A and B are shown apart, each in its own frame.
Chain A
Amino acid sequence: MSVIEAQGVSLTFQTADGPVHALKDVDLTIGKGEFVSFIGPSGCGKTTFLRTIAALETPTAGRIGVNGLSADEARRARAYGYVFQAPGLYPWRTISGNISLPLEIMGFSKTDRAKRIARVLDMVELSGFGGKFPWQLSGGMQQRASIARALAFDADILLMDEPFGALDEIVRDRLNAALLELWAKTGKTIGFVTHSIPEAVYLSTKIVVMSPRPGRITRIIESTLPRERPLEIRDTPEFIRIAQEVREGLREGHSYD
């Protein structure tokens, strides 16, 4: 069953230097419960594509369906949680207050909010930190709090734009493992933008390789790795083979003209 369907999606920005083709004829279907990574060099439109799914950008051609609705209808139905590269927590709210923010906007009752906050804090292993202010937490913990915020209102889709890009590798490994666990537990459909090949291979059931000028999909790789993935899986021949395939995909899309 498909959750996200893109057909012939193009997005052209008009700039002073002429039109920029951020996306050109992108077709993609994402099924329920899939973990899809978008990988490619900067300017390949991976972030732009994620934003069009979220209806933060409007395509100039083609259409995107989310849960059988248009992208904007899905946004208004609060179909997805979005996680940015920066945590974007409000410094004047505690961690609990930050997670409560979308819940307040969506009109959840006070008791329901408290229950949900406790649940998602537990999910991202931040129980006991709800009363802290963001600046009292490390960068990795802040990003976990921002994931908790995106999970709090039970959207079926989680869109993540390089969520761990600003973190060091050790923290990133831990968060990747935690994210897989969370995905297994909740069965959410996840769209994940990254520029790290190991990260994409480790996390995804499907890897979408993109290339720039114009932004397009050059290869879609279905992962053959099992859903259960300990960190050591990254040393198996299977993992290395898929990483190799991603690298080839990146290379063939990469022209320096």
Chain B
Amino acid sequence: MKHALPVLTVLCAIILGWYVAAVALNAPWARDQAARAGTSLTMPALIRATMTQERPVLPAPHQVAKGVWDGVAGQKITSKRSLVWHAGVTLSATLAGFAIGSLAGILLAVGIVHSRVMDLSVMPWAIASQTVPILAIAPMVIVVFASAGVTGLVPKAMIAAWLSFFPVLVGMVKGLRTPDRMQMDLMHSWNASRAQAFWRLRLPSAMPYLFASLKVAVAAALVGTIVGELPAGATAGLGARLLSGSYYGQTIQIWAALFAAAALAAVLVMVISGIERVTLKRMGLAR
């Protein structure tokens, strides 16, 4: 509770700065309108005019809040105008992609740690895959899948998996290699098999690394899904809301979708943090 004051102070500063920016950015259009109507605006009137535009350059915070509220509570959940419905579409593809990507990352890491050949042959490609701009790859993935008759969740999940396997791979390789020489020697002195050393030593040692990288991966999966929704004909998902908003200059809609995406990412990371806390506590690793 004693942190409430500084946190609120920062929040207020951000909102205040946002209002100032909204006034500054929206004022030219308001002045323009007034000039066309042959009137001039007093300062209070000008400020009021910058807060209520239908398509502001930068919507004011309360406009965005209203946009989010309308999207969440103002529609039936099954409506195509409901943010909840769009977020649900995005969430399902995100979770599918995250699951595929994390599993692939873990399996590749296990292979890399146990095989020098895999270390040399897989790692460079894994790194190269992340240097390709996802914006360039995403439409091709969508097109290739669509030509094979697969649309909807799967192609988006593949793009999400593409982005999310990498942090898990890097984190798990590091984590599985944390046991030091002495601990490996101890295993050797007991004549433990590689499988025994893996399940009893390497995997538990890697758990803190796994959770750290899962948090990065789930956020990356969400970004991948949204990017995957942009070229998909823009019919469903938060990415579609972003795209259609930009087509029609609906800045409030764009911002509302952005905030919905941010909130979704925050919830996902929090869920993983919760699982992390419980797991590490049960393992005796949390103090």
Number of interface residues of A (CB under 8 A): 24
**CA of A256 to CA of B183, assembled, Å:** 35
Give every chain A residue within 8 A of B190 (Cβ-Cβ).
78, 101-102, 105-106, 153
Among B174-233, those with CB < 8 Å from A are: 182-183, 185-192, 196, 200-201, 204, 207
Q: Which residues of B contact A (CB under 8 A)?
A: 182-183, 185-192, 196, 200-201, 204, 207, 283-285, 287
**Chain A residue at smallest Cβ distance from B189:** A82
Q: Is the CB of A105 within 8 A of B285?
A: no
Q: Is the CB of A93 within 8 A of B189?
A: no
Additional A-B contact list (20), CB under 8 Å, known A93-B284, A153-B190: A56-B185, A56-B188, A75-B188, A75-B191, A84-B185, A86-B182, A88-B182, A90-B201, A91-B285, A92-B283, A92-B285, A94-B284, A102-B190, A105-B192, A105-B196, A105-B200, A106-B190, A106-B191, A133-B284, A135-B287
Give every chain A residue within 8 A of B192 (Cβ-Cβ).
105
Majority secondary structure of chain B interface residues (helix, strand, loop or mixed): helix
- A76 at interface, CB cutoff 8 A: yes
**CA of A128 to CA of B201, assembled, Å:** 25
- A125 at interface, CB cutoff 8 A: no
CB proximity of B157 to chain A, nearest CB, Å: 33
Majority secondary structure of chain A interface residues (helix, strand, loop or mixed): loop
A54-97 toward B: CB 8 Å interface, digit per residue (1/0)? 10100000000000000000011010111010101011111000
**CA of A54 to CA of B191, assembled, Å:** 11
Residue with the highest number of chain A CB atoms closer than 10 Å, among B185, B190, B285: B190
- A245 at interface, CB cutoff 8 A: no
Residue with the highest number of chain A CB atoms closer than 10 Å, among B192, B201, B207: B192
Give every chain B residue within 8 A of A90 (Cβ-Cβ).
201, 204
CB proximity of A172 to chain B, nearest CB, Å: 20
The answer, among B185, B188, B204, for a CB contact under 8 Å with A92, is B204
**CA of A133 to CA of B183, assembled, Å:** 18
**CA of A101 to CA of B201, assembled, Å:** 10
**CA of A160 to CA of B42, assembled, Å:** 88
- A248 at interface, CB cutoff 8 A: no
Give every chain A residue within 8 A of B200 (Cβ-Cβ).
101, 104-105
CB proximity of A68 to chain B, nearest CB, Å: 18
The answer, among A76, A93, A104, for a CB contact under 8 Å with B191, is A76
Q: List 18 A-B contacts (CB under 8 A).
A: A54-B189, A56-B185, A56-B188, A75-B189, A75-B191, A78-B190, A80-B189, A86-B182, A88-B182, A91-B285, A92-B207, A92-B283, A101-B200, A102-B190, A105-B187, A105-B196, A106-B190, A153-B190
